Structure 1
Amino acid sequence: MLIHEIIFMIITTILRLRTSHANSTNETINNASMFPAILVFGDSTIDTGNNNYINTIIRANFPPYGCNFPGRNATGRFSNGKLIPDFIASLMGIKDTVPPFLDPHLSDSDILTGVCFASAGSGYDNYTDLATLSLSVAKQADMLRSYLARLNRIAGEEKAATILSEALVIVSSGTNDFDINLYDTPSPRVKLGVNGYQNFILSGVKNFVQELYDIGCRKIMVLGLPPIGCLPIQMTMDRQKQSERRCIDKQNSDSKRYNKKLKKSLTVIQSNLSGSVIFYADIYGAILDMATNPQRYGDRNKGDDEGMLRNRRNGTIVLVQSFNSDLSRP
C-alpha cells in the first residue's frame, strides 16, 4: 500500500538520522524513545488542523475528510484518516496523533511531546501565502518561538532546550509554490523560469532550516516534492490541453530536478550547521507509482474520477485520495 511504502521510507530515513547523530556523539540508541517530541512544518500534506483556526477557505473540516480517522471526524487533516506525521509519532512511541499548535485546548503533555505548525496552502514564497491566506513557513517559525516560550514555562529552559534539540523535525513544503506561482496562476515569479524559481525556493529552504537551527532544532528531515504533474488539480487544469486526464510529464520532470538539487543543498546546509543532522526524504517514487498504477494499491473507486472520492460543498469539488490501507483505518 502507498502509505506503508512512504512511511517505511521515511522511518528508514529517520533511523539513518538517529544513527548518524549517535555515531557522532557516541550515544547509545534507545529504541523505546528515539525522540522526545515531534515538530511538524509545511503544507496540507502534514497540516493536522491549523487552518481550522485561521481566516482561509483552504480547510478540510468537513466530510469526506476524516471518514477513516478515529471517531470518523473531519479534523482539518487533508486525508481520509491520519497523516504521515501521526503514523510516525505513533511508530516512534511519541504519541498517537500530532495536534495542531493553534488548537486552544492543547495540554502541557501535548506541548512536551510536540505539535504541528503546518498550514495547508502555504509555501516558502510569500506570494503563495498571499494567494491562499495560509501561514507561511516564516509565520510557522514565529509559532515555534511561541511554542518554545510555553515549553520553557512547563519544563524549564534547560529541559526545553534539550527537548527542542532532540525532537524530530519534519518539513514538507514547496508544492504550492510551484503550483501557484509557476504553473497555474499569473505571478511575477514566472519571469524567473523553472530553473530560476527552483533556486529561489531552495534559498527559502536554506533560510528556513537556518531559522529552525537558530531557534534550537537540530534533527531536521526535509521531504522532497511529489510528482506535481500527477496531482489531481494539475491533471484537471491541464485536461483541456490533452485528450485524456493524465500526469503532466514536464511538471514531473521539474519535480525530479528540484529534488536532486534539494538533496545536494541539504548536504551543504548540514555541513555549515554544527551539531545538526539534516536529511532528505524521497516521496516522489512511491506517489508516482500510485498515480500511474492505482490497481496495485487496491483502488476501490475505478472509474470514479480515477480513484478519487468526490464531494460537493459550497459549489466546490473536493478530491480525496482513496488509499485502501489498513493503517488509515481507526
Structure 2
Amino acid sequence: MAPAHLNFFTLPVNVLATISLVLSKNDTAQPRFSAILIFGDSLVDTGRFSDGKVISDFLASALGLKETVPAFLDPKLTNEDILTGVCFASAGSGYDDLTNAVYNSIPVLGYDDLTNAVYNSIPVMKQPDILKSYIDKLKSVVGEIKAQEIIGDSMVVVVAGSNDLLINYYGNPSRRNLALYDIGCRSIMVAGFPPLGCGQGQNLIFTTCLDPKNSDSQTYNIKLEELLPEIQAKLPGSKLVYANLFTLFVDMVINPIKYGFLVTTRGCCGTGIFETGPLCSSLTPVCSNPAQYVSWDSIHPTQAAAGYTSQYLQTNALSQF
C-alpha cells in the first residue's frame, strides 16, 4: 500500500524549542485525526519536565484523543494507547546528530550529530525508525488495512531544534523541510524562533534578556520567512506558511499579568536559574504556585504556559489549514 500523505506544520514553542506539528488528514474539508504521534525532545517526552502537562498533552486533549500521551517504550502500554497514539520523544535530542551524541538521546530527524552526541539522545529523524515497531504492533491489534488508515490520519508532533541551537547554533530549515516533504508532507507551517535571549538559563549572570541572542532570533526569523517561498517553489503541491511566535513570548514576559503570570525572571523549581530536567525532583524545593510562573525550570515552560501555547497553536496555526 502506498504511504499516506502527511501534512506538517513546524513550530517552536518555548525559549529553546522548535515544534513541528504534523497533520495527517483525509481529502475531506474537515480533517479528522485518529491518533497523535509525538517525536522530539524534552518538551514533549514522557519525563514531562513540567509541573503537569506538556504542550503535546494539551493538543491531544483538544483533539479528543487522550489526556496525556504515553511512551511507546513503556512496558505497560495498552492496546487502547496504541490505537490513539504514543510518544517517541527523547530528552536532549535534536535534528543534528552531533547534538544527539552529546546528550545521548534519540535523534529527531537523523541530522546534526553534535546535538544528539552531547545529550546521548535519540535523534528525531531516527526516532521514526522506532515508528516501524509501533506500526507492527498496531497491525497486530487492528490489522494492516486499519493500521494504515490510522497512520495516514494521524497528527504527528515533532518538537526539536533548541538543543541544536545550544550545541550547533542554527539548523538548516531547507533540508529539514525537504526531508518532511520526501516522506509525504505537503502542508508545512514553519515558525521562527522565540526570544532566545530571555530563557532563565541565559540569565544566570544577567537579570535581563540578552539582546544579542534576541537579535539572532529575529535575524533568523527574517531569513526563514524569505526562504520559505523559495523552498515551496521547489516542492510541487506543497504549502509552506511562516508563523511568528517571537512576539507571543515577548508578550508573555512584558505583559505577564495578561496571562496570569507574576514571575518571568526565574523558574519555579529550585533557584529557578540553573536547575533543569532531572535536577527538578521530589527532593528539590519548588514554588507554591507554578501557575504564576512562565517557566518550570531554567528551560521548560510550566503547565500554564504550555496551555497558553496550545491555545495559540489551535487558534493561529490549525485554523490556517
For the residue of structure 1 that corresponds to 2:270, the secondary structure is strand
Q: CA deviation at 1:179?
A: 1.2
Cα deviations across residues 208-256 of structure 1 (Å, max 9, x unaligned)? 424653xxx77766654332211111232xx3xxxx4221222223223
Alpha carbons of structure 1 residues 268 and 89: separation in structure 2 relative to 1, 3 Å: farther
The TM-score with structure 1 as length reference comes to 0.63
Q: Which moved more, 1:113-122 or 1:221-230?
A: 221-230
Q: How does 1:225-236 map to 2 (within 5 A)?
A: 225-236=193-204
Query: Is the alpha carbon distance of 1:262 and 1:162 closer, same or farther for their aligned partners in structure 2, counting shifts above 3 Å?
Result: farther
Map of 2:285 onto structure 1: none
Write the distance in 2 (CA, Å) between the matches of 1:154 and 1:219.
Answer: 30
* Structure 1 residues 71-110: aligned runs within 5 Å: 76-110=47-81
Residue of structure 1 aligned with 2:143, choices 147, 156, 159 = 156
Summarize the Cα distance change of 1:99–1:38 in structure 2 as closer, same or farther, 3 Å threshold: same
Structure 1 distance, partners of 2:143, 2:236, is 24
> SS of 2:166's equivalent?
helix
CA distance in 2, matches of 1:321, 1:232: 10
Pick aligned residue for 1:293 from 240, 255, 258: 255
Q: What secondary structure, in the 3-state scheme, does the structure 2 residue paired with 1:286 have? A: helix
Cα-to-partner distance string for 1:126-174 (whole Å, 9 max, x where unaligned): 1111111111113312112221221222222222122112111122211
Is 1:29 aligned to 2:27, yes or no? no
SS of the counterpart of 2:126?
A: helix
TM-score where L is the length of structure 2: 0.65
On the 8 A contact 2:60/2:69 being kept in 1, the answer is yes
Amino acid at match of 1:111: I
Structure 1 residues 200-215: aligned runs within 5 Å:
200-206=171-177, 208-210=179-181, 212-213=183-184
Given that 2:52 and 2:303 are in contact with CA atoms closer than 8 Å, whether structure 1 keeps it comes out as no
Q: Which runs of 5+ in 1 are unaligned?
A: 1-5, 7-12, 50-75, 183-197
Q: Residues 131 and 223 from structure 1, CA distance in 2 versus in 1: closer, same or farther, beyond 3 angstroms?
A: same
Residues 37 and 205 of structure 1, relative CA distance in 2, 3 Å threshold: same
Identity %: 42
Distance 2:122 2:91 in 1: 8
Q: CA deviation at 1:285?
A: 2.4
How do 1:205-284 residues align onto structure 2 when only pairs under 5 Å count? 205-206=176-177, 208-210=179-181, 212-213=183-184, 224-236=192-204, 239=205, 244-262=206-224, 282-284=244-246
Change in 2 beyond 3 A, CA 1:321/1:292: same
Matches within 5 A, 1:170-209: 170-182=157-169, 198=170, 200-206=171-177, 208-209=179-180
CA RMSD after TM alignment: 3.6
**Equivalents in 2 of 1:218, 1:153: separation in Å?**
29
Are 1:307 and 1:322, in contact at CA under 8 Å, matched by a contact in 2? no
Equivalent residue, structure 2, for 1:58 = none
For residue 86 of structure 2, the aligned residue among 88, 111, 115 is 115
Asked if structure 2 preserves the Cα contact closer than 8 Å seen for 1:89 and 1:96, the reply is yes
Aligned residue number for residue 318 of structure 2: none
| Native 8 Å contact 2:200 2:266 kept in 1 | no
Q: Answer yes or no: is the 8 Å Cα contact 2:34–2:65 preserved in 1.
A: yes
Distance 1:325 1:121, change over 3 A: closer
Q: Distance in 1 between matches of 2:51 and 2:65?
A: 22
Whichever residue aligns with residue 50 of structure 2, its letter is: S
Q: In the TM superposition, what is the alpha-carbon distance from 1:259 to its structure 2 partner?
A: 3.9
**Higher relative helix content:** 1
